[in-house]
């Protein structure tokens, strides 16, 4: 009989720039070890609309290529209505920054990845690493790792 249990761990990340690809694979592996589950799924989830979670290769030149790719898709200096504080009234905070580009880039990347756990280990492929992708500016970011399994 399947006896499901769950485990959750919040990972806090201080980012330094945008875009920035921060490899959080080891933190996620630590959470999997702490959870002590052998078969299941790890959900890696960003609690933000301008910081994404993605699996890709950690190769410095590729990270540079992907940063430029994001910039081409949604350039920082394009016109975004979200950045026009003379007309915007919704969700305005005291330290509001123009970040329409970061939201649009996040739309393409997404907030989460799910990775299978078999034999107590994340089933990442040889070149697969888990990244928090900062798209806005240096911030404190929260990544929730929830593990479900037995």
Q: CB of 32: closest distance to Zn ion in angstroms?
A: 32
Nearer to Zn ion, 59 or 84 (CB): 84
8 Å CB contact between 110 and 54: yes
Does residue 99 interact with Zn ion by CB under 5 A? yes
Nearer to Zn ion, 4 or 87 (CB): 87
For residue 59, the SS3 value is: coil
CB atoms within 10 A of CB 136: 23
Nearest CA to 132 among 68, 72, 47? Answer: 47
Nearer to Zn ion, 30 or 137 (CB): 137
Q: Which stretch binds Zn ion (CB under 5 A): 6-14, 23-31, 64-72, 91-99?
A: 91-99
Nearest CA to 116 among 28, 53, 2, 57? Answer: 28
Residue with CB nearest Zn ion? 99
Nearer to Zn ion, 94 or 126 (CB): 94
Q: What are phi and psi of 81, to 5 degrees?
A: -60, -35
Q: What are phi and psi of 65, to 5 degrees?
A: -60, -45
Q: Which stretch binds Zn ion (CB under 5 A): 5-13, 40-48, 59-67, 92-100?
A: 92-100
Q: Which stretch binds Zn ion (CB under 5 A): 7-15, 28-36, 99-107, 126-134?
A: 99-107
Provide the binding-site residues for Zn ion, judged by CB under 5 A: 99
């Amino acid at each position: 009989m399947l006896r499901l249990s769950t485990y959750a761990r919040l990972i806090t990340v201080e980012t330094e720039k945008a875009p920035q690809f921060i490899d959080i694979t080891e933190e996620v592996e630590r959470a999997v070890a702490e959870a002590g589950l052998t078969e299941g799924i790890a959900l890696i989830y960003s609690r933000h609309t301008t910081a994404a979670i993605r699996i890709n290769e950690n190769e410095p030149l590729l990270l540079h290529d992907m940063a430029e790719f994001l910039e081409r898709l949604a350039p920082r200096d394009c016109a975004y209505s979200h950045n026009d504080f003379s007309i915007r009234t919704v969700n305005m905070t005291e330290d509001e920054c123009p970040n329409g580009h970061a939201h649009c880039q996040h739309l393409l990347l997404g907030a989460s990845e799910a990775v299978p756990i078999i034999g107590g280990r994340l089933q990442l492929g040889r070149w697969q690493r888990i990244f928090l992708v900062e798209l806005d500016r240096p911030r404190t970011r929260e990544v929730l790792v929830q593990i479900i399994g037995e």
